[in-house]
Chain A
Amino acid sequence: MLKKPNLIKRIFVYCCGPGKHQLLRVSLFCIFLSLLAGTVLLLLLGKNPLEAYRSILQGAGILPKTRYAGKKSQLTDFMSLLNYTTPMIFAALSVAVALKSGIFNICVSGIMVFSGFLATVLVGYSSLAPMIAKPLVILIGIVAGGLIGVLIGYLRHRFNMNEVVVAIMLNYIISYVVSFFIQTKFVDPITRQSVEVGQNARLTLFDYPIMNLKMEINLVFPLALITVFSIRYFINRTRFGFELKAVGLNSKASNYAGINVGKTMVTTMLISGALAGLAGVSYYLGSNASIQPRVLPSLGFDSIAVALLGNTTAIGCFFASLLVMVFDSGTTYMSSRMQVLREIAALITSILLLFSAIGIFFRALANRYAREAEEV
């Protein structure tokens, strides 16, 4: 009689239990659960879920479509996916690095707006040569983001202010102040957004002709890849990375062991802020070209959960960003082909993030079941 729950438990322990790659398996289990939830949702709407998932992959350039418009191919779709993924990789890394030392960086959105705005105003409207303008944009992103990061880290350490609260306040202050400047000085009367930045400063090349195709080429995607590996090296292999993790695990013990907690926190936030700044410039001067006033990019908030789905490791963040953006960019094609509302992608993504937020619980539960099984 008890056989059935035992079987479910056994499968569950097999999926999420202790052993090799447990974190990875729990993440995959969460992805599986959310795809399952998405399937139920699509069935309720009377659509074929397999077909829907296939058209998402087709739209994102992972699978070939049946027909392509002129000068488009699977490769162009895939390049477009990489273009939109790049800011997410930076943002997720920013959250992950801060989280490693026990700080929640909710300010990613605000930092993105800040750095994007500064780069837009200082370089985006200038007539500098592309060879100078583009690196300058990246530099401004890093510096502007790093400044806000240091501010948060310093307030947290020196005045013992809760970084989440500070970040929320900063998000809105930045958003409204930037909106004020855009609406008084840089507004495009037709789109009601800021005036588009010049092609010389943009980090993405649009409709770039290669091999008879028109491609989107994100110039900072290679930088994102390098950043993933250097953050990985930095966290796992350097002394500072060790101190950062130690502070995150127990700041009092770290202090006792002679680690300068304040310095570590501020430096961590400097890195985290710089990464968020990079996300900002690659978003506002890359995949987009203008800033919408009064709107905090939802990408900045999504990145928190993406970092979580990636178990706050650099490589994990990379793949989690890619997965979430596949959903995001493949949905337009799916919704036009299957007459499903576009909003369903955001819904499935947030269900995915919901499950990844309780990944810790799955892990603990599986560990408990495994222990119980051993004891019997």
Chain B
Amino acid sequence: MDSIIIEGIAFSIPLFIIAIGGIYSEGSGVINLALEGLLGFGAFAGGLSYALLSSVITGNPLLLIYASLAFAMVGGALLASLHALMCIKFKANQVISGVVINMLSVALTAFLANQINASVFGQPSNKFLLEIFPKVTVPLLSRIPILGAVFTDLYTFIPIIVAVAILMAYIYYKTPFGMHIRACGDNPHAVAAAGGNVMKIRFVSVLVSGALAGLGGMCFAYSISTTFSPNIYMGFGYLAIAAYIFGSWKISRTFLACILFGFARSAGYVLVQKLELPSSFGDLVLTLPYIVTLVLLLFFSSKTKAPRALGDVYE
């Protein structure tokens, strides 16, 4: 039971921050299928910064780890700026741009990781090794029955992400800027009439989306494999898209969707282990979030409310 909660949290929370990134972008009216590529590129930037800085900063692994998270956000935002440029300035089709950004991200990280490993570190590899992310067990809270597992063996990135997520939710719902973002997604012309700069607001939203996806991607790189490798492109970006559609573009409901996905995944894995089934049954478990989302959409697609101007090119 404990392992279900521990694993579930470690998976859902990074997924949640990526999904918030998606909500920011789509909330402002820019379809973001590029999340997969953004999280991969963010993880690449973080892994690269870790590999490069580890010779400069010695003796302080914690600083190194947190710096790599920051660089991952920068990397994600960098690639997101290309998506924003294509969608907003060049008026490319947003779905196609997203797909192309994903492909570019896979190709670019594979090429750069190989090239940098060969020319800077002198070894043929497409990976960057990382440190194991520090874990804490909160002294008193972890002794609460059942719920205590939430505070046991907690990756320290979890509180960081939760803090960022709360901040992002606050900005999105409670500040004028957040309202502008949501207005751009529903009626960009009204924003323009009220004196807002639609293109600028959308651009910033997509950048934020990239930064958050990069952060989530880096946490996945730490928690799942403690390396950056091309295996990071496992479809978590698409899963995040499923999560915010499931949560009908609302941050609170998306949180529940992410928790559901994460726990379904970890519970399924534990079940497969307990029943001593072959590990291939894990694949069936992995389909659960997608099937649930599909069935949900089947019944509630008329009720889920996407931003009204989603995908519209604003001129």
Is B171 interfacial (CB 8 A cutoff)?
no
B306 CB contacts on chain A under 8 angstroms: 162
Is B110 interfacial (CB 8 A cutoff)?
yes
Is A305 interfacial (CB 8 A cutoff)?
yes
B107 CB contacts on chain A under 8 angstroms: 343, 346-347, 349-350
Near A by CB (< 8 A), chain B positions 227-252 give 235, 238-239, 241-242, 245
| A/B interface sample: 12 pairs, CB < 8 A | A169-B291, A172-B235, A176-B283, A176-B284, A179-B280, A179-B283, A180-B281, A344-B111, A347-B108, A350-B108, A351-B104, A354-B104
B239 CB contacts on chain A under 8 angstroms: 172
Is B204 interfacial (CB 8 A cutoff)?
no
A166 touches B96 (CB 8 A): no
Is A298 interfacial (CB 8 A cutoff)?
yes
Distance of A183 Cα from B287 Cα, bound (Å): 15
19 extra interchain contacts, Cβ-Cβ under 8 A, other than A298-B103, A305-B103, A357-B93? A159-B301, A160-B301, A165-B245, A165-B297, A168-B242, A177-B287, A180-B280, A183-B278, A184-B280, A308-B96, A341-B115, A341-B118, A346-B111, A347-B104, A349-B107, A350-B107, A357-B92, A360-B92, A364-B91
Known interface pairs A173-B290, A353-B100, A354-B100. Does A180 touch B90 (Cβ–Cβ under 8 Å)?
Answer: no
Near A by CB (< 8 A), chain B positions 261-315 give 278-281, 283-284, 286-287, 290-291, 293-294, 297-298, 301-302, 306
Near B by CB (< 8 A), chain A positions 346-369 give 346-347, 349-351, 353-354, 357-358, 360-361, 364
Is B169 interfacial (CB 8 A cutoff)?
no
Q: How large is the interface on B (under 10, 10 to 19, 20 to 34, 35 or more residues)?
A: 35 or more
Q: Which of B99, B118, B241 contacts A301 (CB 8 A)?
A: B99
Known interface pairs A104-B95, A358-B90, A361-B90. Does A168 touch B287 (Cβ–Cβ under 8 Å)?
Answer: no
B93 CB contacts on chain A under 8 angstroms: 357, 360
Is B102 interfacial (CB 8 A cutoff)?
yes
A347 touches B287 (CB 8 A): no
A183 CB contacts on chain B under 8 angstroms: 278-280, 283
A165 touches B115 (CB 8 A): no
A265 CB contacts on chain B under 8 angstroms: none
Interface class of chain B by DSSP: helix
Distance of A104 Cα from B86 Cα, bound (Å): 18
Find the residue from A160, A177, A358 having the highest chain B CB count within 10 A: A358
Is A118 interfacial (CB 8 A cutoff)?
no
> For residue B298, which residue of chain A has the nearest CB?
A159
A179 CB contacts on chain B under 8 angstroms: 280, 283
A172 touches B297 (CB 8 A): no
B110 touches A177 (CB 8 A): no
Q: Nearest Cβ in chain A — how far from B75, in angstroms?
A: 17
B290 touches A341 (CB 8 A): no
Is B209 interfacial (CB 8 A cutoff)?
no
B294 CB contacts on chain A under 8 angstroms: 166, 169-170, 173
Q: Nearest Cβ in chain B — how far from A220, in angstroms?
A: 26
A360 CB contacts on chain B under 8 angstroms: 91-93
Q: Which of B104, B110, B238, B278 contacts A184 (CB 8 A)?
A: B278
Q: Nearest Cβ in chain B — how far from A173, in angstroms?
A: 5
B111 touches A347 (CB 8 A): yes
Q: Nearest Cβ in chain B — how far from A30, in angstroms?
A: 12
Is A164 interfacial (CB 8 A cutoff)?
yes
Q: Nearest Cβ in chain A — how far from B110, in angstroms?
A: 5
Is B33 interfacial (CB 8 A cutoff)?
yes
B238 touches A172 (CB 8 A): yes
> For residue A358, which residue of chain B has the nearest CB?
B90
Q: Which of B33, B96, B298 contacts A357 (CB 8 A)?
A: B96
Q: Nearest Cβ in chain A — how far from B126, in angstroms?
A: 8
Is B97 interfacial (CB 8 A cutoff)?
yes
B111 CB contacts on chain A under 8 angstroms: 341, 343-344, 346-347
A357 CB contacts on chain B under 8 angstroms: 86, 92-93, 96-97, 100
Known interface pairs A341-B114, A344-B111. Does A304 touch B287 (Cβ–Cβ under 8 Å)?
Answer: no
Q: Which of A164, A294, A353 contacts B103 (CB 8 A)?
A: A353
A323 CB contacts on chain B under 8 angstroms: none
A293 CB contacts on chain B under 8 angstroms: 283
Distance of A304 Cα from B100 Cα, bound (Å): 9
> For residue B102, which residue of chain A has the nearest CB?
A301
Q: Which of A172, A305, A349 contacts B287 (CB 8 A)?
A: A172
> For residue B294, which residue of chain A has the nearest CB?
A169
Distance of A334 Cα from B274 Cα, bound (Å): 51
